[in-house]
Amino acid sequence: MDHFLYRDGELYAEDVPLREIAASVGAPFYCYSSATFTRHFKLLDEALEGMDHLVCYAMKANSNQAILKLLGDLGAGMDVVSGGEYRRAKAAGVPGDRIVFSGVGKTEAEMRLAIEGGIRQFNIESEPEMAVLSRVAASLGAEVPVTVRVNPDVDAKTHEKISTGRKGDKFGIPISRAREVYALAASLPGLKVIGIDVHIGSQMVDFEPYRLAYRKVAELTEVLRGDGHEISRLDLGGGMGIPYERTNADPPLPRDYGQIVREEVGHLGCEIEIEPGRLIAGNSGVLVSEVIYVKSGEDREFLILNAAMNDLIRPAMYGAHHDIVPVKEPAVGELPTKYDVVGPVCESGDTFAKGRAMARMQAGDLVAFRTAGAYGAVMASEYNSRPMIPEVLVHGDQFAVIRARPTFDEMINRDTIPEWL
């Protein structure tokens, strides 16, 4: 459930009409609902009730400072995958002991930054990385808590580009080699083995792969404990999927996920960490755009919007579906028509939807892309010299711009022309 609903014939974000925000900041823009962010975080937190746990928001899904502050104040930890994200989390006031560092390519500089600033744990993804972390930690006189990310060879049954837990994926170490890698970790200075990490993919709407992966993690916990390692924390990753299309089918629920966690690893007495990104942020945001032209092609009609693939790349990159709805509520019984919904960027890939049934639209009308709160603004670029679009956060009947649209001069002046030209 989210807080973007029709009321009095138009789409609202909580208690604010999207039309009003559009009049103030100009379309296109991202709009987030703080009540929806809060609700999703709490549902996940409650799903793990009774187990010692921390929900570490995977901030790559949406890392605006205001969003991090909102979630951090609710008690969330953060899962970071770069030094930039680490700095963002700290800047938003999240303490180091709630920040987990993931990612296959952590550099020495990033490790030093996190050790000096405070870190809950590093999730190590390879032996070379382990050696470097050991050296950096020892040189700082630190002993850092670590888990090793194991690849359980489980098919998450999701999109190719966001599956991460199969044999051929670049993430983690094969679970079959876990004992030797943990023995190495235990022998190196500066590292303190505390647990196991696993993350098998994203946008998983079938939760059974979790069960298979967590069963393997539970078995491994016993084996590693038998080898004398202290395994007191399990980082179970993120990846819970969300409905991008409104259908009658029930979406997978956080409490079903929590039940799987309880059943598979609840008996081990470990502290549980999860790293959800999309489930918290996805339905907490919409992208609002304006129709520039309705163009009749030879055999179809194009709805040409002022948002483009550079603002929301998921359709072009993953073939992802986003529901696109008019901000003015269509009249009951109004017959839909079909549009190819496109942006103005000079690429055929700049297509949001083909043959999409929608109410008839005109130039100047506003539309909202639903489920755009995760992997939306964070993946945006200025391709075609289109300045990054603003982000707005709604709270009840208030709204605030939480990232302003840069001016054209600001965008252009980031470049410098060398003297010799």
Ligand X SMILES: *Cc1c(COP(=O)(O)O)cnc(C)c1O
Residue choice 25, 58, 265, 304 for contact with ligand X (CB under 6 A): 58
**Total residues at interface with ligand X (CB under 6 A):** 16
Distance of CA 321 to CAs 77, 213, 221, 314, Å?
A: 30, 28, 39, 8
Question: What string of DSSP letters covers 263-329?
Answer: HHHGGG--EEEE--SHHHHGGGEEEEEEEEEEEE-SSSEEEEES--TTT--HHHHH-----EEESBP
Pairing of strands 144-151, 121-124: parallel
Q: How far is the CB of 156 from ligand X (least distance, A)?
A: 10
Contacts of 33 (CB under 8 A, 6+ apart): 2, 3, 4, 13, 14, 284, 285, 394
CB contact at 8 A, 28 and 409: no
- Is 270 among the catalytic positions? no
Residue whose CB is less far from ligand X, 44 or 185? 44
Applying CB under 6 A, the span of 34-42, 55-63, 401-409, 413-421 interacting with ligand X comes to: 55-63
Per DSSP, the three-state class of 358 is strand
From CA 28, how far away is CA 86, in angstroms rounded?
Answer: 29
Residue choice 14, 153, 275, 350 for contact with ligand X (CB under 6 A): 275
Determine if the peptide bond prior to 252 is cis (ω within 30°): no
Site mask for ligand X (CB under 6 A), range 141-180, x = bound: ----------------------------------------
Shortest Cβ contact with ligand X: which residue? 277
Site mask for ligand X (CB under 6 A), range 231-270, x = bound: ------xxxx------------------------------
Residue whose CB is less far from ligand X, 276 or 326? 276
Residue choice 83, 190, 254, 276 for contact with ligand X (CB under 6 A): 276
Of 31, 56, 270, 346, catalytic: 346
Residue whose CB is less far from ligand X, 245 or 334? 245
Q: Which residues bind ligand X (CB under 6 A)?
A: 58, 60-61, 79, 102, 199, 202, 237-240, 275-279
User: Which residues are catalytically annotated?
Assistant: 346
